[in-house]
């Protein structure tokens, strides 16, 4: 796969509650993104948080918030959001 130098970088930020045992969900999602996009994603940032959070942002768009949406996001939801950014 060739890198597209003209493509805007897409960054994913996963904020997870580190006192809630959300590590497996976090790593599963990060792995799914790595497998889906390989070089086509600029960065996956994983941030430990508190207070029951599991929030995912793609660039500056909040794709999932546990507080707002409840539960964990489907991988496909985040992958589709990244694809949409890449296609923009």
- Tokens matching residue 20: 């809630």
For the CB of residue 2, give the shortest distance to another protein in the complex, in Å: 30
> What long-range pairs does 69-73 form, CB within 8 A, spacing at least 24?
72/22, 72/25, 72/29, 73/29
For the CB of residue 3, give the shortest distance to another protein in the complex, in Å: 26
Cβ proximity to another protein: between 4 and 48 the closer is 48
Q: Which residues bind another protein (CB under 8 A)?
A: 13-15, 17, 19-22, 47, 49-53, 55-57, 60, 62, 65, 67-68, 70
The residues that bridge with 65 in the sheet, in sequence order, are: 55
Backbone angles phi, psi at 3, to 5 degrees: -75, 140
For the CB of residue 76, give the shortest distance to another protein in the complex, in Å: 19
């Amino acid at each position: 796969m060739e890198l597209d130098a003209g493509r805007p970088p897409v960054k994913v930020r996963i904020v997870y509650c580190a006192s809630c045992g959300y590590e497996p969900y976090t790593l599963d999602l990060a792995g799914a993104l790595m497998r889906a996009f390989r070089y086509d994603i600029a960065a996956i940032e994983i941030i430990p948080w508190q207070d029951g959070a599991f929030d995912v942002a793609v660039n500056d768009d909040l794709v999932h918030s546990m507080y707002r949406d409840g539960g964990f996001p489907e991988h496909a939801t985040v992958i589709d959001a990244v694809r949409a950014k890449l296609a923009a």
